[in-house]
Amino acid sequence: MIDTGAGDALRDVRVEWVLNSHWHEDHIALNGVGRRVAAHYLDADAVQDYEEFKRRYALGDLVKLFVNFEFKRVDRTFEDGEVFEFEGVQVEVLHTPGHSAGHCCFVIGDVIFLADIDLTPFGPWYGCIDCNVRDFVLSIERLKKEISKRRISLAIPSHGKAISGTEEILRRLDDFLAKIFERDRKVRELVRSGEDPVGKGVIYKKLPEPKEIFLHFERIMIEKHLATSLEELYLSES
């Protein structure tokens, strides 16, 4: 099983292996359904340890709002390019950092599990301290090349609907990537005009509740932009 964030639907399921795409709570909450758990070596500590999980969110005790589960030990770590084989089915790991340091996608034949490179209209999310906006851009670019080369015909994100057809998947990846560049331009325009970009709708058009938490995420995401130059990357895109 890849990830275990499906809630009560999984409680009576038992599998030999769980492969975690990354460490966020909606992907590891029911890791206990697996006899063994595997995760990328850069995310393994946050998958199995509450203190590291809390550190990466940088929310202090507020992070308890996300934790209603028991952390399960990671039995095996993996890295980019590794291939798992389960009864003749091969699952290849593609390390795609940005959303987290160890975020991974998985390729099974002509199908790719995109995890939280999820192609939603909101766009990429990089609100934890181990996120990296430049890595996110490079991961999307890598995926475009891999999907085109391998002629991937079905992409399954963690959120939203599956996408069929190589060209449609590539188009949706382009749209997803464009969100990062759009945000980057807006952040820099606001800073040049002397405004604080936090709370100006660059990331969240309207802050969800609890606002304190989402304002924290927005601040981190904007800081990622200000700490990183993306100009040469979006110039190369255009």
Query: What is the domain partition of the chain in residue ranges?
Result: 7-179
Q: Is the pLDDT of residue 165 over 70?
A: yes
Q: Provide the CATH number for the domain formed by 7-179 in this structure.
A: 3.60.15.10
pTM: 0.95
Tokens of 183: 């945000």
Per-residue pLDDT tens over the stretch 68-127:
999 999 999 999 999 999 999 999 999 999 999 999 999 999 999 999 999 999 999 999
State the DSSP code for 208. P
Q: Is the pLDDT of residue 25 over 80?
A: yes
pLDDT band at residue 5 using 50, 70 and 90 as cut-offs: confident
pLDDT band at residue 238 using 50, 70 and 90 as cut-offs: low
Tokens of 205: 């058009």
* ∠ Cα 137 237 105 (to 5°): 30
CA neighbours closer than 13 Å in the CB half-sphere of residue 64: 3
C-alpha to C-alpha distance for 155 and 147, rounded to whole angstroms:
9
Q: Is the pLDDT of residue 166 over 90?
A: yes
3-state secondary structure of 24: coil
Per-residue pLDDT tens over the stretch 191-237:
999 999 999 999 999 999 999 999 999 999 999 999 998 877 766 67
